[in-house]
Amino acid sequence: MQYAVPLEPTILVIFGAGGDLTWRKLIPALYNLHLDKLLPERFAIIGVARKQVDDEAFRRRLREGVDLFSRRRPAEEESWNRFSTHVSYLSEDFSDPASGPALSQKLEELERAWGVRANRVFYLAIPPDMMEAAAAHLQRLGVCRDCRRDRLVVEKPFGRDLATAVALDRLLSGMFAESQMYRIDHYLGKETVQNILAFRFANSLFEPVWNRRYIDHVQITVAETVGVEERGGYYDNSGALRDMVQNHLLQILCLIAMEPPISFDADEVRNKKVDLLHAIRPIRPEEIHHSAVRGQYGRGTADGKAVPGYLEEPGVAPDSTTETFAAFKFFIDNWRWQGVPFYLRTGKRMPARVSEVSILFRSAPHQPFPSAAVENWQPNRLIIRIQPEEGIVTRIQAKQPGTRLLLGPVDMQFRYRDAFSTAPPEAYETLLLDVIRGDATLFMRADQVECAWRIVAPVLEAWESVPPGDFPDYPAGSWGPESANLLIAREGHNWLQPTMPEERR
Ligand code: BG6
């Protein structure tokens, strides 16, 4: 989030360099930063993983990833060759306490050649159960001792629940200062998610109506068409609540509902988010089924093709009770939001890949129009479209052209692709650059992560102790189980059809 700060020499060490994240996201993001000349002049990437491969084989595999997943693909020969000279590989089993000092030697060699002590960024792109070993390895090597220069990037999920998150935090904070830690939630790097703050706080138009007086309720939908892909093993131990709600959806909720920050200092913004999380009304055990529902997809269709149910996916236990859909109703106990329901839902194998926030305004207090004129009337709606068609839509009522007085909804649209000529960077580009710059605004602080776990903890516990009786309960290609409709119907609401590119109403 900072601008024009000269970048210091940096070495990025990726633990878990053989994994999917490095291949699909991290290296394509770094390659794009290289294309945009945003990386420091003296920059090196060291991939660390157990497998024995040489630098050349490692680079070849990374290039395939760039060819497949980079926003500017395929890789361009000359640029890739230049970029790949910064990349090397180290085969190391960091979980073995006897593993040698190869990493520290490599870091020192590079720094000797550059003639400076570089900033060192250690990116833990590894499952939560390996974090402890990786952190202990770094501590043993003593390579991460400079609080200003050395940084640790931790991928989500940060723990499996409140207790494990607290334990992991205690462990890491015994080794590293909070200022060294960058806990990633990649949704915070998305251009449209960051724009929520700009939209709310750089315009004076919306703040006066951004409260219980004018807003009836808010819906946040993060829907995916994909199933669990090749990640069945991970996902089956996680589920929609841990994978999406505890982090991505609650972060979006924070940005929509938080109070205005005094400045864009990392801690000021994060304080305001923590305040908001504290204000979310705790879900009482006896109210869980009124506040949260889960679902699991069965066989159905995706993009017009027949697809298997969750229980048939590779890596998934055939009797799994893991949820692939979750919906929540939250209330926020503060002056601004008292009594306004916030509905959140997310699921795999939904009919569309669409993430958006719908703000539903209250009806006009008095309707002066004849009843025939307002048959088609709808409340005002503001839609923040996070993806795929990034933008903001304001739905207002207009008089339909003609001799009769007839009102109907029309949309005022702001679309990123029309308004700006440059393609927005991928979330990981923004986040990696922020780590390199040392700006933690878009990263989660320990207390934020813990608050988020505390909010979902009663539901997590209830779902773990009472297995669902009716899974699978929604067909792939649908908007989730009927229980999600009932959850929100109780308050007199219904889920709004997200605005899809081909269908705007
Ligand atoms: C990840 C989840 O954090 O976010 C995945 O682990 C999910 O299960 C992904 O598919 C969605 O991210 P995006 O950027 O594609 O919306």
Res 132: pLDDT: 86
Strands 325-330 and 150-154: unpaired
Ligand 1 centre distance from Cα of residue 243 (Å)? 8
In 10 A of CB 41, how many CB atoms? 11
Q: Which two tokens stand for residue 181?
A: 């830690």
Task: Establish whether 248 is a catalytic residue.
Answer: yes
Query: For 394-481, where are the alpha helices, taking DSSP H only?
Result: 416-419, 427-437, 446-465
224 lines ligand 1 (CB under 6 A): yes
**CB contact set of 77 (below 8 Å; sequence gap of 6+):** none
**Nearest atom of ligand 1 to the alpha carbon of 224:** 10
- H-run or E-run covering 173: helix 162-175
Closest CA to 136 of 163, 172, 101: 172
Low-confidence ranges of the chain (pLDDT < 50): 2, 503-505
d(C-alpha 390, C-alpha 368), whole Å: 36
In the set 34, 137, 248, 366, the catalytic residue is: 248
Strands 474-475 and 297-298: parallel
150 lines ligand 1 (CB under 6 A): no
d(C-alpha 319, C-alpha 311), whole Å: 7
426 lines ligand 1 (CB under 6 A): no
d(C-alpha 353, C-alpha 347), whole Å: 10
Res 505: pLDDT: 41
> Which amino acid does the sequence have at 231?
R
236 lines ligand 1 (CB under 6 A): no
d(C-alpha 228, C-alpha 217), whole Å: 31
**CB contact set of 95 (below 8 Å; sequence gap of 6+):** 130, 133, 134, 137
Ligand 1 centre distance from Cα of residue 185 (Å)? 10
407-415 sheet: strands from edge to edge: 292-295, 325-330, 342-347, 215-223, 354-361, 381-387, 391-399, 407-415
Res 183: pLDDT: 95
Q: What is the 3-state secondary structure (H, E, C) of 59-82?
A: HHHHHHHHHHHCCCCCCCHHHHHH
pTM above 0.95, yes or no: no
**CB contact set of 341 (below 8 Å; sequence gap of 6+):** 217, 218, 329, 330, 331, 488, 491, 493
